[in-house]
Amino acid sequence: MKSITIKKTQSLKGEITVPGDKSISHRAIMLGSIAEGDTTIKGLLKGEDNMATLKAFRQMGIRIDEHENGIVAIQGKGLHGLKEPEDFIDAGNSGTTMRLLTGLLSGQKFFSVLTGDQYLRKRPMKRVVEPLNLMGAKIFGREDGNKAPLAIVGSKLKGMTYNSPVASAQIKSAILMAGLYADGVTTVIEPTISRDHTERMLAYFGADVKRNGATVSIKGGQKLVGKKIEVPGDISSAAFFMVAALITKDSELLIKNAGINPTRTGIIDILQAMGGDLKIANQREISGEPVGDILIKSSRLKGIEIKGDIIPRAIDELPVIAVAAAFADGITTIKDAKELKVKETDRIESMTSELRKIGVKVTPLQDGMTIEGGKKPIGNDSCTSWGDHRVAMSMIVAGLAVEKGITVSNTDCIDTSFPGFVKTLSGLGCAVSESQE
């Protein structure tokens, strides 16, 4: 296992790009594989999570070529072109891979088994298994279908209307994937809109997707046609550098070609509400997704209350928002974020634990946390990632602004979403080093 040591940094100045969006990369591989004809993907994130998805479709007979220029070429075989895999499909640490594939595989004419690493096998799957069963899926797993491995017997599916109890793009996307194979219309109604990359990409591939607020519908049997896709930079990866620039003195950082999908820009709205100087320039649309350049300058932040509809738009960024709160004046309260409990770790527990280690006063809540800022965290050398890439990077960002710096252990997990994270930090003049534990 690797550990990363970060020392206090005076300022961040420069221009960076971040790796391709993880969510969009997953969906590009999946839809490109079941589309008819060729799909080429520029900017695909080649982190461990996305490579698990890529490998899964290779196991099911899809030819995917990775070219030296970074282009990934997929020879799609249409909705019914996948073949039965000879072995388990290993989703690694990727909840997106497992949950979306559970939906897609439910409507196939073959048997398949999905498994994952020690962390993924602990994560709840019934949230997708139960609605898929209502469509006629046959899915079996540990704890009555709640834990992987999941065995899926491909079945004839029927469309339905599902009122989701939570706003979750993974639940919605799993059902829509199954809806492609179902008789009739499949509709998902959410309490508030979750990220909409699946709907956007289905439409980009030629599907007729009906959207009305937090309701989305798709008719089964629609043909998808291969496309050229350019994946924008992942705003969840950009978030670490947004916060880094805000909490270090005299910083000015430009993040180019970042995805600014409105269902994902909660991080920008929250940081601006905290007093952060962030501006978006050069807005445009690429492959059905909005893209822009984000300019960040160091700012004096203040504590705020974060709750309600903005939470699904910032759920993956809340760990690093908690770091911003630690360096803000006053108290920040995060509510309505129970989804944090079912990520790679229980992120309420893990972020409370690690922020306390560097001297931050944090009170965990059932659906979030309260963070008392205004007192400079001192830092030490005993933080850990909990095997969670976002916890790891959040604590490294905190190390940029604490007097003693921070050493974070078990950081191999960063490669699931941001290979090259340390290199990008080093390129901005940060004193960061890796060592083998």
Mark whether 335 and 345 lie in a shared domain: yes
- Of 125, 185, 115, the C-alpha closest to 157 is 185
Instruction: Say if residues 391 and 385 touch (Cβ distance below 8 Å).
Output: yes
187-215 average pLDDT score = 97
pLDDT-above-70 percentage for the chain = 100
- For residue 435, pLDDT over 70 is answered with yes
Sign for the pseudo-dihedral over CA of 235, 274, 311, 114: positive
CATH for 48: 3.65.10.10
- For residue 365, pLDDT over 80 is answered with yes
Identity of the residue numbered 228: K
Residues 141-175 pLDDT 10s: 999 999 999 999 999 999 999 999 999 999 999 99
Cα–Cα distance list, 234 to 194, 258, 289, 393 (Å): 16, 6, 12, 14
Q: Compute the distance between CA of residue 149 and CA of residue 90 in angstroms, rounded to an integer.
A: 9
Name the residue range of residue 9's domain: 2-20+232-436
Q: What is the pLDDT of residue 140?
A: 98
Q: No. of H helices and E strands in the chain?
A: 13, 26
Count of structural domains within the chain: 2
Strand 252-259 and strand 13-17: the pairing is parallel
Tokens matching residue 142: 């540990």
Mark whether 190 and 250 lie in a shared domain: no
Q: Compute the distance between CA of residue 104 and CA of residue 97 in angstroms, rounded to an integer.
A: 10
Cα–Cα distance list, 385 to 123, 176, 320, 390, 414 (Å): 17, 33, 13, 8, 9
208-219 average pLDDT score = 97
Mark whether 170 and 271 lie in a shared domain: no
32-59 average pLDDT score = 97
Mark whether 135 and 145 lie in a shared domain: yes
pLDDT-above-90 percentage for the chain = 95
359 belongs to a structural domain: yes
Q: What is the pLDDT of residue 374?
A: 85
Q: What is the pLDDT of residue 382?
A: 83
Instruction: Out of 200, 230, 260, pick the residue that ends a domain.
Output: 230
Instruction: Say if residues 370 and 331 touch (Cβ distance below 8 Å).
Output: yes
Q: Compute the distance between CA of residue 306 and CA of residue 328 in angstroms, rounded to an integer.
A: 14
Instruction: Out of 230, 255, 286, pick the residue that ends a domain.
Output: 230
Mark whether 6 and 117 lie in a shared domain: no
333 belongs to a structural domain: yes
Task: For residue 123, report the phi and psi dihedrals to the nearest 5 degrees.
Answer: -85, 150
- Write down the pTM of the prediction: 0.91
Instruction: Say if residues 215 and 9 touch (Cβ distance below 8 Å).
Output: no
Say whether 253 sits in a helix, a strand or coil: strand
SS3 content of the chain, % helix, strand, coil (to 5): 35, 30, 35
pLDDT confidence band for 377 (50 / 70 / 90): confident
- Of 362, 272, 298, 353, the C-alpha closest to 326 is 362
Mark whether 254 and 272 lie in a shared domain: yes
- For residue 181, pLDDT over 90 is answered with yes
- For residue 280, pLDDT over 80 is answered with yes
Q: Compute the distance between CA of residue 55 and CA of residue 150 in angstroms, rounded to an integer.
A: 18
Mark whether 95 and 6 lie in a shared domain: no
296 belongs to a structural domain: yes
Instruction: Say if residues 218 and 206 touch (Cβ distance below 8 Å).
Output: no
Instruction: Out of 230, 258, 293, pick the residue that ends a domain.
Output: 230
Mark whether 257 and 351 lie in a shared domain: yes
User: What are the DSSP E strand ranges found in 116-247?
Assistant: 138-141, 147-153, 157-158, 161-163, 182-183, 185-189, 209-212, 215-219, 228-230
Neighbouring residues of 68: CB distance < 8 A, sequence distance ≥ 6: none
Mark whether 304 and 416 lie in a shared domain: yes
343-370 average pLDDT score = 96
Q: What average pLDDT does the chain have?
A: 96
Mark whether 161 and 48 lie in a shared domain: yes
Mark whether 290 and 425 lie in a shared domain: yes
Instruction: Say if residues 335 and 365 touch (Cβ distance below 8 Å).
Output: yes
- For residue 235, pLDDT over 90 is answered with yes
CA 394 to chain centre: 14
Instruction: Say if residues 160 and 134 touch (Cβ distance below 8 Å).
Output: yes
Q: How many CA atoms lie within 13 A of 407 on its CB side?
A: 11
86 belongs to a structural domain: yes
Q: Compute the distance between CA of residue 20 and CA of residue 51 in angstroms, rounded to an integer.
A: 13
Mark whether 348 and 420 lie in a shared domain: yes
pLDDT confidence band for 375 (50 / 70 / 90): confident
218 belongs to a structural domain: no
Q: Compute the distance between CA of residue 227 and CA of residue 286 in angstroms, rounded to an integer.
A: 12
Catalytic residues: 316
Q: What is the pLDDT of residue 379?
A: 74
pLDDT confidence band for 381 (50 / 70 / 90): low
120 belongs to a structural domain: yes
Beta bridge partners of 434: 4
